[in-house]
Chains A and B, each alone.
Chain A
Amino acid sequence: MRIDIEAASVRIEGATILHRVDLLLKPGEIVGLIGPNGAGKSTLLKAIAGLSSLSDGAIRYDGVRAQEIGAARLARRLAYLAQDGEISWPLRVEHLVGLGRLPHRTPFAGESEEDRVAVERAMKLAEVAQFRARTVQSLSGGERMRVLLARALAVEAEVLLADEPVAAVDPLHQLRVMDLLRRVAAEGKCVVVVLHDLALAARFCNRLVVLAGGCKLLDGSPDELTDTIIARAYGVSTLRGEHLGQAFVLPWAPLGPHNG
C-alpha cells in the first residue's frame, strides 16, 4: 500500500503538534521517524494509522481516504504498535498475540486455521514462542514489548507502524527487533518506526524522517542525516565513526545555548 500524506497538520487545544508535513510511504521500505521529545512523531504515526484526525491536509491510502475505506478494512491493511504498551489483564502471551487477528475474524466465528498460522509465525518472528503459555505479567519489560510487536505482526498487514518498539529492550533484542523490522520491509511491506536511538535508526532504516517542533526537517537517506540537522533537531553534537565499513553516528554532547 502506498500512503500519501499531504500537508498534514494537527492542532490540539490551540497548540500546533504537526505542521504541514508531506510524506510518501511506499512498500518495501523501512522509514525511521526520529526527532526530540514532543516533535510530533507519535502524532504523525497515529495520524497515519488513522487514529488522530488532521486539522488540515489529507492522508490517502492508495489514493483513498480512511473514511472511505472504513475502519474495519483499514485495520486489516495497517498494523499499529502503540508506545505505552498498555496491557490491562494478565493475558497469556498466545492470547495476546491472537488479538492481532481480530480484524480478520468474522463475528461469532472462532479462530481459523489461517489465524493460528499467523499467530505462530508472528510469535516465531518476534522470538516469543517460548513464552506462549506464560502470562504477560510474568515477563520483563523488553519481553513484553516483543510480545506486543508479535501482536502487531500477527495482523499481517501491508503496513506496520511501530511507536518506539525498542525503547525498553536490551541491546541484543534491539538489534534483533530492528533486523526483524528490516526483514518485514524486505518482504514488500511498508514499515514506519519511531526511534530515539540515532545509531539504530541510521543503521537499519532505508530512509529517515526528522521531525522537530512539528515540522519536517529532513526526509532522506541515512547519509543525509548530517551533524547540522542533528544539532538543529536535538541540540546535541555527534560522534561519527566507521566499523567494518559501516558508518555509525552517536549523539555525543549537548550544545550549549551559546554555541547552539
Chain B
Amino acid sequence: MTAASVSPVARAEATRHAWLVVGLSLIVACALVGSLFVGYAGLDVTQAIADALRGAQTLPAIVLVELRLPRALLGCFVGFSLGLAGAAMQGFLRNPLAEPGVVGVSGAAALGAVIAFYSGLSTLVPLALPFGAIAGAIFAALLLFALVGRGAGTMTVILAGVAINSFAAALTSLALNLSPNGFSALEIVYWLMGSLVDRSLPQVWLATPFMLAGWILLLTAAPALDALSLGEPTARSLGFDMGRLRVRLVVGAALAVGASVAVSGAIGFVGLVAPHVLRPFVGHRPGRLLFVSGLGGAALLLLADIAARLLPIRPELKLGVITAMVGAPFLFHLVYRLRREA
C-alpha cells in the first residue's frame, strides 16, 4: 500500500485540524492584543509600547506594563489552564460534565488560598497563596477521583461535585465568619468571585511556572486519554498504566487550576464550555481536544474580560460572574442531555 491509499477523509481532517489550531491561536492573539487596548484610562497603546521598550517610565508605559499586560497575560494563561484542565478531567472520567468548577476543584483551591491568607502564611511566605490553592486543588481532585472512580456516570460526577463544593464552601464561610474585620471578609468575597483586575507582573511570574508544569503533565496524557475512551481494560492492554495516569491528572489539574485560582479567584465554567464547543471539531478525540480546549479557554476568558470592561455596568462585573452567566446555561443543557444515562 502506498501513501496514495491514505483516506482523503484523514488528509482533509489533518488540514482542518491545522486550521483549527491556527484559527484559535489567532483569536487568542487578537484577544490578547485587544485586551491591552481596552481599559478605563485613555491610553495610546503604540506610544506606551514605544516608551516601555525604551525603558522610559512614562505614565502610558506604566499603565501598560503594570496594569494592562498582567491582566491580559493572566487572562490568557488562566483561560488556557481552565480549558485544558476541563478537557483532561472529562477525558479521564469519560464524562463531559467534569469541570474544575462544577466538581469542586476550583472551590477547594479557593479554600486553600483563603486558609493561606487567613493563617497569615501568605504574608510570611511569598508562595503560600499558590501553594495553598494547589494543595486545596489536589485534595479535591483526589477526593473526586476516589468518590467517582473511573468512567463514572453523570449523576455520580454531579453528586461528588455537589459534596466537594458544599464542603469547600462551608469551610470558606467558616473562615469568613471568623474573620476579625468585615473589610477583609469583603475583600475575600470579591476575590472569590474571580477577577483579573489589579494584578501585577510578579503575580504572573509567580503563577506561571506552576501552570506550565500542570500543562505539560496534562498535555502529555493525550495518548492515554485516547486509549481510555475504549475503557480501562483496553487502555491497559494498549500499555497505559492507569494508576500513573491518575496521579498525572490529579497533579496536573491541581497545578494548573490551583495556580489559576491563586491569582484570579474561582472562575467557573470555562473548562465546561471550551471542551464542549470544540469537541466536535476534533472528532471527539479526548487527546486532540486538550490543546485546542486550552486555546478555546484562553480566548473565552480574554473575551469575557474584555466584555467586563466594555459593558456599561459599574462597578465592573467580576469575571467569574460573566463566565457563570455564559456557562451555567451550558451546564443545564448538558445535564438535560445526559440525564437519561445518569
Q: Least Cβ distance of B248 to chain A in Å?
A: 13
A82 to B6, CA, bound (A): 28
CB<8 Å pairs between A and B, sample of 16: A71-B239, A75-B239, A82-B233, A88-B286, A91-B284, A92-B283, A100-B238, A102-B223, A102-B226, A102-B227, A113-B3, A116-B6, A120-B1, A120-B7, A133-B9, A135-B284
Q: Does A194 contact B (CB under 8 A)?
A: no
Residues of A within 8 A of B286 (CB): 88-89
In-complex Cβ contact of A74 among B10, B229, B239 (8 A): B239
Residues of A within 8 A of B6 (CB): 116, 120
- Report yes or no: A105 in contact with B223, Cβ–Cβ below 8 A: yes
- Report yes or no: B230 in contact with A94, Cβ–Cβ below 8 A: no
Residues of B within 8 A of A72 (CB): 239
A132 to B283, CA, bound (A): 12
Per-residue contact bits, chain A 122-139, to B (CB 8 Å; 1 contact, 0 not)? 000000000011010000
Q: Does A13 contact B (CB under 8 A)?
A: no
A27 to B236, CA, bound (A): 23
Residues of B within 8 A of A80 (CB): 233-234, 237
Q: Interface residue count for A (Cβ, 8 Å)?
A: 43
Q: Does A202 contact B (CB under 8 A)?
A: no
Q: Does B241 contact A (CB under 8 A)?
A: yes
A107 to B229, CA, bound (A): 18
Q: Does B199 contact A (CB under 8 A)?
A: no
Q: Interface residue count for B (Cβ, 8 Å)?
A: 30
- Report yes or no: A95 in contact with B9, Cβ–Cβ below 8 A: no
A88 to B225, CA, bound (A): 11
A39 to B239, CA, bound (A): 27
Q: Does B5 contact A (CB under 8 A)?
A: yes
In-complex Cβ contact of A107 among B223, B230, B231, B241 (8 A): B223
Q: Least Cβ distance of A158 to chain B in Å?
A: 14
Please name the 3 residue pairs, one residue from A and one from B, whose CB atoms are nearest each other, closest first.
A75-B239, A86-B231, A80-B237
Q: Does A49 contact B (CB under 8 A)?
A: yes
A208 to B115, CA, bound (A): 64
Q: Does A84 contact B (CB under 8 A)?
A: yes
- Report yes or no: A87 in contact with B230, Cβ–Cβ below 8 A: yes
Nearest CB to that of A129 among chain B residues?
B7
Q: Does A216 contact B (CB under 8 A)?
A: no
Q: Least Cβ distance of A249 to chain B in Å?
A: 31
- Report yes or no: A102 in contact with B94, Cβ–Cβ below 8 A: no
A84 to B94, CA, bound (A): 15
Q: Does B177 contact A (CB under 8 A)?
A: no
- Report yes or no: A75 in contact with B238, Cβ–Cβ below 8 A: yes
- Report yes or no: B223 in contact with A90, Cβ–Cβ below 8 A: no
- Report yes or no: A84 in contact with B231, Cβ–Cβ below 8 A: yes
Q: Which of B152-210 contact A (CB under 8 A)?
A: none
Beyond A95-B283, A96-B230, 16 additional contacts (C-beta under 8 Å) are A46-B233, A71-B241, A72-B239, A84-B233, A86-B231, A88-B228, A88-B231, A90-B284, A92-B284, A95-B285, A99-B227, A99-B238, A103-B238, A105-B223, A132-B7, A148-B230
Q: Least Cβ distance of A45 to chain B in Å?
A: 10
Q: Does A78 contact B (CB under 8 A)?
A: yes
Per-residue contact bits, chain B 286-314, to A (CB 8 Å; 1 contact, 0 not)? 10000000000000000000000000000
- Report yes or no: B227 in contact with A79, Cβ–Cβ below 8 A: no
Residues of B within 8 A of A82 (CB): 230-231, 233-234, 237
Q: Least Cβ distance of B151 to chain A in Å?
A: 7
Nearest CB to that of A157 among chain B residues?
B237
Q: Does B220 contact A (CB under 8 A)?
A: yes
Residues of A within 8 A of B285 (CB): 89, 91, 95
Nearest CB to that of A74 among chain B residues?
B239
Interface centre among A49, A86, A103, A113 (most CB of B within 10 A): A86
Residues of A within 8 A of B230 (CB): 82, 86-88, 96, 99, 148, 151
Q: Least Cβ distance of B13 to chain A in Å?
A: 8
Instruction: Given A71-B241, A96-B230, check contact A117 B1 (CB 8 Å).
Output: yes
Residues of B within 8 A of A99 (CB): 226-227, 229-230, 238
A141 to B322, CA, bound (A): 43
A146 to B153, CA, bound (A): 26
- Report yes or no: A102 in contact with B239, Cβ–Cβ below 8 A: yes
- Report yes or no: A86 in contact with B5, Cβ–Cβ below 8 A: no
Nearest CB to that of A75 among chain B residues?
B239
Q: Does A51 contact B (CB under 8 A)?
A: yes
Q: Which of A48-67 contact B (CB under 8 A)?
A: 49-51
Q: Which of A128-171 contact B (CB under 8 A)?
A: 132-133, 135, 148, 151, 155
Q: Least Cβ distance of A48 to chain B in Å?
A: 11
